[in-house]
Structure 1
Amino acid sequence: MVSSRCRCRAGESPSSSQKVNPKRGVTYPSALTYSSAKSPAAKTGEATTAYQKPPVPGTTAQPVTLMQVTGATTTEATATSLPKPSPSAGSTTSSLGPQPVGHRSWELDLGSTSSYASGHHSPRANPGEMDLWQPGSVLLDAGFVPKEELSTQSLEPVSQGDPNCKVDLSFLIDGSSSIGKRRFRIQKQFLADVAQALDIGPGGPLMGVVQYGDNPAAQFNLRTHMNSRDLKTAIEKITQRGGLSNAGRAISYMTKNFFSKANGNRGAAPNVAVVIVDGWPTDKVEEASRFARESGINIFFITVEGATENEKQYVTEPNFSNKAVCRTNGFYSLNVQSWFSLHKTVQPLLKRICDTDRLACSKTCWNSADIGFVIDGSSSVGTGNFRTVLQFVANISKEFEISETDTRIGAVQYTYEQRLEFGFEDHSTKADILNAIKRVGYWSGGTSTGAAINYALEQLFKKSKPNKRKLMILITDGRSYDDVRIPAMVAHHKGVITYAIGVAWAAQDELEVIATHPANHHSFFVDEFDNLHKFVPKVIQNICTEFNSQPRN
């Protein structure tokens, strides 16, 4: 059934496109002063301090003036009159087909003469819903454009952005038919408030937007707009796509396409994705979100007007939010009761996004470890095979993201004696690491593997960072001349995850003692040196599987 009610402002026509002349003898204000719709303190169950954009040095914050645009010319004068819409004689509604099972009632949408599917929304009234113009908010399409857009030159210095909130940020916004035009405008206003609150710039946060319906599409990427003003203008121009609410498909698209170097991903900045969902998704999000988390993307979910108890039977994936977010401890989830309360989440959301120390999903198996290779350089290996071992070490190393803050690589060579080839702090780029591996010279001698493990713990892993995973990858071709049990136990006790790789004459029982439990995941045996390269994918897979299996709470 089509709802006949129209949620309009008092004295406002549901058809905003109708031209009405101003009343005679009435003087209207020439300009409106813009004020943000963000709430200085949101009530979300935690004490929050408002995120404030730092002022640009040498400037004074000024209110942004909104002006009327008439035809092709724009004027600013004291006596400019603004037309006030007159009440409409009525509104028309188009005929609609039956609703899909589980969707809520249809309702007339503000600013349109035809009705739109409300989809995931119940016809229940909210006290704030009868007045679209909430205190401190301005409609994006009310017939005005910011004065700042009309100026061809900016008097303010270009901001480099807030360095205390340096994140690469993607908003996935719901453009499905179910949301309706009015709620879609509220969603755009929310993005505009976020853009205004953040100090966008190359040295601070960067922001892009993906809109999803049946299929997702990028509205603009991280490098498209490098300041808050341009970003807000771009947000105002976004048009609704329509279709279903396929959030899972959008998350997959974002993971594969959005955070690329070509699109402005900076590498050193945490990747953050904020997914806004109207009611509930029409597809599943769990698998797509897991892939995003494993790629180092911090997923936040904002669920607006979620399913009521009698509607939960229609939800495609129960408990979808907890299955999608980076952690299920409440930090990454925001539930909003009404679209008209969405503006209250601006400050709580930005406080969390800018708290980069708590963005746990920035850590992945590719960028969060100190990896120490312990290489057998005994006489039985031989020069040619030793070069093959070094190629194996290089093949594993090149799979990781290497920098001072990401994965770091070190290497020890041993015979009867031990030698530190290079430490974790010696090389901070992948190219330097690969060159250092090539320069390692073959030593030749006996095989004291137990002493080599002790040496690596003291000379290599003692300088590992506290927040890093410590991985030891030991490669040997024979049985050790000394005991490996106690050194291996010490390594395990110190939290060093040990992989033991044996070649040719290596002893299987000794490899299992050296390896971290379970031994079948951390020990490998290959009959010939030339077959070492076949184990590179398996070692990498086990490293990442172990990392991703860690509890998410």
Structure 2
Amino acid sequence: MSQANPVPRSTDSDGNRRVPLDRTQTRVEPVDAWKMDINPYGTGFNVREQEPTARAPELVSQGDPNCMVDLAFLMDGSWSIGKRRFKIQKDFLSEVAQVINVGVAGPMMGVIQYGDDPVTEISLRSYSNSREVKSAVEKIGQKGGLSNVGKALSYINTHYFSDANGNRGGAPNVAVVLVDGWPTDKVEEASRLARESGINIFFVTIEGPDDNEKQNLVEVNFVDKAVCRTNGFYSMPVTSWFALRKAVQPLVKRVCDTDRLLCSKTCLNANDIAFVIDGSSSVGTGNFRTVLQFVANITQEFEISDTDTRVGAVQYTYEQRLEFGFGQYNHKAELLNAIKRVSYWSGGTSTGAAITFAAEKLFSKSKPNKRKIMIVITDGRSYDDVRVPALAVQRQGVIAYSIGIAWAAQDELEYIATDPDKEHSFFVDEFDNLYKFVPKIIHNICQEFNSQPRN
């Protein structure tokens, strides 16, 4: 929410720090500032209509595969910035576009300009190479108005990162907010909602408020409230507009470091989940299909891709078999079909060896930014020790759940499960009742994730 009368910033000179305007003076705005944006849909947001211009067809660039992100810049178009600094801002965006190497298999880049209201200047799907993005940036005219960053963040959350606008789904969503001085509305709530929906938010503040100017802020410490609290990774203060160019390389390095883009992570898209499935003779073919349906029901709740949640599965008897590894199936439909195709093995029950096997074949290949979760499903007592393997895998940072059916041994279920047992260990008398625990398991995974200090 913005204050009714936020204190604006002066624009007397492009190189000087802004001070509160003298309200006794009459300020003449450029004529274009009073043109009404026509929006037939009444959403309060606009996509700027640009006249089509004839241009030679461009080759589609593949881009940098090591920087596959959907990247949106929120550029400051408020009157406080002035024409000269607005031009510096456009030069900065053009240089970023050149450095990141825009392309369909790498980063895609878009631009939103904000003032009183946000407007899409370049959608993610507009251009597929750096040259075209740079050309489009050069044509952007200053919008004017206040500096309503919170409103712009709400816009990208609800409108910008959509499939229709070019959002690819498998690529992390990244929003970089450029702010001249400070916002004229509140940003904390809008930022939190955007982060929770999977958007990584960076703030680049240019000529931020000094101690004397902080009394003019609508929201004190607005950057700290807006970004993920990770030791300054998501915030980049720049002392002067004329030093902005120096921020290009450091910023590109950060937005392309997908393993550190943790603020977009939720309990549904941040995991490596290994199912360790009992295929012993006591299970039987019919019950084994019920177990696979249980596995599919849990999997269905997660966002599946190589950058989101990945799922692997091990079936065991006396021996162990890797059914599929992390990242082998990066689309949910393919993964669910793979689960359905798992064939029943039959044999003895060596749960301890299966846990060790899962650690070696699956968790050794986990990504550093993934939460490691193991779900062991068994219907009987193991012929080998489960305590030592379970303790070893938990020491590797794996969160272990145990699901026991029928003749499963309660003491072994507790040994396998991460403490507290009541949150990680479950028992049912019959296979047909497994489905009842799906919501509880998902709830516990999310509750545990959300309790961690992250953003």
TM-score with structure 2 length normalisation?
0.75
The partner residue of 1:305 within 203, 207, 210 is: 207
1:515 equivalenced with 2:412 (yes/no): no
Residue of structure 2 equivalent to 1:532: 434
The answer to whether the Cα contact below 8 Å between 2:7 and 2:184 also exists between their aligned partners in 1 is: no
Residue of structure 1 equivalent to 2:31: none
Residue of structure 2 equivalent to 1:272: 174
1:470 equivalenced with 2:368 (yes/no): no
Residue of structure 1 equivalent to 2:387: 485
Which AA in structure 2 matches 1:172? L
The partner residue of 2:7 within 82, 103, 120 is: 103
Residue of structure 2 equivalent to 1:122: 19
Change (3 A) 1:534 1:108: farther
The answer to whether the Cα contact below 8 Å between 2:274 and 2:362 also exists between their aligned partners in 1 is: yes
**Displacement, 1:243?**
5.2
**Displacement, 1:297?**
3.6
Residue of structure 2 equivalent to 1:441: 343
The separation in 1 between residues aligned to 2:193 and 2:369, in whole angstroms, is 23
**Displacement, 1:302?**
0.9
1:420 equivalenced with 2:321 (yes/no): yes
The answer to whether the Cα contact below 8 Å between 1:369 and 1:468 also exists between their aligned partners in 2 is: yes
The separation in 1 between residues aligned to 2:172 and 2:144, in whole angstroms, is 31
Change (3 A) 1:220 1:312: same
The separation in 2 between residues aligned to 1:494 and 1:443, in whole angstroms, is 29
The separation in 1 between residues aligned to 2:433 and 2:146, in whole angstroms, is 50
The separation in 1 between residues aligned to 2:360 and 2:10, in whole angstroms, is 69
Question: Residue 474 of structure 1 aligns to a residue in which SS?
Answer: strand
- The structure in which a higher percent of residues are helix is 2
**Displacement, 1:267?**
4.6
Change (3 A) 1:395 1:287: farther
Residue of structure 2 equivalent to 1:350: 252
Q: Deviations over 1:342-394 (max 9, x none)?
A: 34433443343345565455766555543221223456645444322211211
Question: Residue 164 of structure 2 aligns to a residue in which SS?
Answer: helix
Change (3 A) 1:330 1:523: same
The answer to whether the Cα contact below 8 Å between 1:370 and 1:424 also exists between their aligned partners in 2 is: no
Which AA in structure 1 matches 2:19? S
RMSD: 4.0
Question: Residue 500 of structure 1 aligns to a residue in which SS?
Answer: strand
The separation in 1 between residues aligned to 2:80 and 2:264, in whole angstroms, is 33
The separation in 2 between residues aligned to 1:348 and 1:458, in whole angstroms, is 37
The partner residue of 2:219 within 310, 317, 320 is: 317
Change (3 A) 1:340 1:258: same
Change (3 A) 1:174 1:419: same
Residue of structure 2 equivalent to 1:219: 121
**Displacement, 1:502?**
3.3
The partner residue of 2:289 within 369, 387, 390 is: 387
The separation in 1 between residues aligned to 2:265 and 2:154, in whole angstroms, is 19
**Displacement, 1:334?**
1.8
Which AA in structure 2 matches 1:122? V
**Displacement, 1:170?**
0.5
Change (3 A) 1:511 1:216: farther
The answer to whether the Cα contact below 8 Å between 2:259 and 2:369 also exists between their aligned partners in 1 is: no
Bigger CA drift: 299-308 or 437-446? Answer: 437-446
Question: Residue 126 of structure 2 aligns to a residue in which SS?
Answer: coil
The separation in 1 between residues aligned to 2:178 and 2:119, in whole angstroms, is 15
The separation in 1 between residues aligned to 2:102 and 2:327, in whole angstroms, is 35
The separation in 2 between residues aligned to 1:459 and 1:200, in whole angstroms, is 36
Residue of structure 1 equivalent to 2:149: 247
**Displacement, 1:178?**
5.1
The answer to whether the Cα contact below 8 Å between 1:472 and 1:499 also exists between their aligned partners in 2 is: yes
The answer to whether the Cα contact below 8 Å between 2:310 and 2:327 also exists between their aligned partners in 1 is: no
The separation in 2 between residues aligned to 1:435 and 1:493, in whole angstroms, is 32
Aligned residues: 421
Change (3 A) 1:122 1:532: farther
Q: Deviations over 1:190-242 (max 9, x none)?
A: 33443455543334432101233454343221110223343234334445555
Residue of structure 2 equivalent to 1:374: 276
The separation in 1 between residues aligned to 2:246 and 2:327, in whole angstroms, is 48
Residue of structure 2 equivalent to 1:397: 299
**Displacement, 1:422?**
0.7
The separation in 1 between residues aligned to 2:253 and 2:361, in whole angstroms, is 40
The answer to whether the Cα contact below 8 Å between 1:423 and 1:460 also exists between their aligned partners in 2 is: no
Question: Residue 309 of structure 1 aligns to a residue in which SS?
Answer: coil
Question: Residue 230 of structure 2 aligns to a residue in which SS?
Answer: coil
Residue of structure 2 equivalent to 1:228: 130
Question: Residue 396 of structure 1 aligns to a residue in which SS?
Answer: helix
The separation in 1 between residues aligned to 2:288 and 2:208, in whole angstroms, is 61
**Displacement, 1:448?**
4.7
The answer to whether the Cα contact below 8 Å between 1:378 and 1:444 also exists between their aligned partners in 2 is: yes
Could you tell me which runs of 5 or more consecutive residues in structure 2 were left unpaired when the two chains were aligned: 22-51
1:332 equivalenced with 2:234 (yes/no): yes
**Displacement, 1:122?**
1.0
Question: Residue 213 of structure 2 aligns to a residue in which SS?
Answer: helix
The answer to whether the Cα contact below 8 Å between 1:420 and 1:459 also exists between their aligned partners in 2 is: no
**Displacement, 1:309?**
1.8
Could you tell me which runs of 5 or more consecutive residues in structure 1 were left unpaired when the two chains were aligned: 1-98, 111-117, 125-148
Change (3 A) 1:357 1:409: closer
The separation in 1 between residues aligned to 2:88 and 2:121, in whole angstroms, is 17
The answer to whether the Cα contact below 8 Å between 1:503 and 1:527 also exists between their aligned partners in 2 is: yes
Question: Residue 310 of structure 1 aligns to a residue in which SS?
Answer: coil
The share of aligned pairs that are identical, in percent, is 67
The separation in 2 between residues aligned to 1:232 and 1:474, in whole angstroms, is 52
The answer to whether the Cα contact below 8 Å between 1:421 and 1:440 also exists between their aligned partners in 2 is: no
Residue of structure 1 equivalent to 2:49: none
Change (3 A) 1:442 1:263: same
The answer to whether the Cα contact below 8 Å between 1:412 and 1:418 also exists between their aligned partners in 2 is: no
Which AA in structure 2 matches 1:424? G
